[in-house]
Structure 1
Amino acid sequence: MKLFQAFHEYSHNWAAVTTAHWQKYPNEKTPHVVHVEVINRDLDPQTGVLRTERLIMCRQPCPAIVARILGVGDTNYVLEYSEIDPNNNVLKAVSTNLTLHDLLNVREEIVYRPNPDNLSRTLFDQSAAITAFGMISRVSSYIEDFSVKRFKDNAQSGKKAFEQVLERIVQSANNSNTLPTTAQAT
């Protein structure tokens, strides 16, 4: 198992940052994400918690030798489950790959929450556990290392894409003199 972890502080409030979360894709900085489909969404009327399941389609080739051995293409699917709690100002999303799940498991968790010392800023925590197993156990370290590098590269481009969307949202809100006050899921 290989681990990836990243932390970041956005200089915008939680509502603006979580609004950007829902609008991150599609984006030219993350061309590997081809399509995002909401497959289920429900709102708990008592707690206000919004739960969303999304299917994310990505296109990224794996190493040619692995593709030949496993007979896979470059289209992959990820299932994301998220909960946004507007009363406690926490958005948590957990994603796992569906493609080749029995050979390589990638589980990502992200959390957005206000900085308790400065509510106009938002803390972002991201972690991923990547485990190769099954028939590829002999080359699992290679596969895990490759996957961590790809994950890190995607996380960096995803952060740039996210910041671009966030700036657009904040700029739009500033132009209309209305900053987001609650996360708006789309």
Structure 2
Amino acid sequence: MVKYFCSNIDIKSTWDHVVSAFWQRYPNPFSTHVLTEDVVYRELTADHRLLSRRLLMKTNRLPRWAERLFPAGMSRSVYIVEDSIVDPVERSLTTYTWNLNHTTLMSVEERCVFLESVEHPATTQLKREAWISSSIYGFSKPIQEFGLARFKSNQVKALKGLEYALTNLQGEAPQRLLRDTVKDASEKAKEAAKTLASAAATPQKPQQYVGW
């Protein structure tokens, strides 16, 4: 059994601004649970799509009743993979995210699609979907209910964080901001690759991309 969530929101800002703000939404006062973010892969395809993979670490507070069931030393942080596709031709940004650890306890998969509104050029349409599941026998239903409630709360915070980043971008040129952000992220990706190499883990192009 999987809990499904779907929402459709109109963001009162142009698609260029939304994409620029997307890359600069952390840190913000509404997403203090996001601890780190790192670009681990980035590619500009021949058809001008920008593919990115980022690794984020977030806090993972369990409900009080669940804390009594799991070891005290269990990690309270969760690692999230975020794959994204920016398509400047179709004017779309698509993201796929899923957690790497604690998947037996709860697995959360999310897909977001940001589309430029055809009817309202100054508006960006956001469709957000999530699938929440648990493999804990006897407790899967309450865990999924908790996960769904927390996801709903966090997605409200995520939207506020994006709006916060949009406010900070007012008066700037979105095209230049997007270009500078891509350049900066590419440099960070190179630094991350060097770090992995020094640890004897040669970075390679991921073999599977969700939706790529």
Q: TM-score, normalised by structure 1?
A: 0.89
Give the structure 1 partner of residue 75 of structure 2: 73
Aligned length: 178
1:122-143 CA-partner distances (Å, limit 9, x unpaired): 101111000111xx13111100
**2: distance between equivalents of 1:142 and 1:30?**
25
3-state SS of 1:27 partner: coil
Unaligned runs of 5+ in 1: none
Residue matched to 2:12: 11
Identity across aligned pairs (percent)? 27
TM-superposed CA distance for 1:67, in Å, is: 3.6
Please provide the CA RMSD for this pair: 1.7
Identify if the C-alpha distance between structure 1 residues 67 and 99 changes in structure 2 by more than 3 Å, giving closer, same or farther. farther
Give the deviation of 1:179 after TM superposition: 4.7
TM-score (norm 2): 0.78
> Structure 1 counterpart of 2:139, which letter?
V
Where do 1:5-154 residues align within 5 Å? 5-44=6-45, 46-71=46-71, 72-133=74-135, 136-154=136-154
Structure in which a larger fraction of residues adopt strand: 1
Q: 1:179 to 1:54 in 2, by over 3 A?
A: closer
- Give yes or no for contact 1:14–1:122 (8 Å, CA) kept in 2: yes
Please name the residue that 1:172 is paired with: 171
Describe the superposition over 1:72-130 as per-residue Cα deviations: whole angstroms up to 9, x where unpaired. 23211111111111111111000001121233210000010101112221101111000
- Aligned with 2:130: secondary structure? strand
Counterpart code for 1:16: H
- Alpha-carbon separation, structure 1, partners of 2:113 and 2:176: 18
Structure 2 unaligned residues grouped into runs of 5+: 186-212
Cα distance between partner residues in 2 of 1:129 and 1:112: 18
In structure 1, what is the equivalent of residue 161 of structure 2?
A: 161
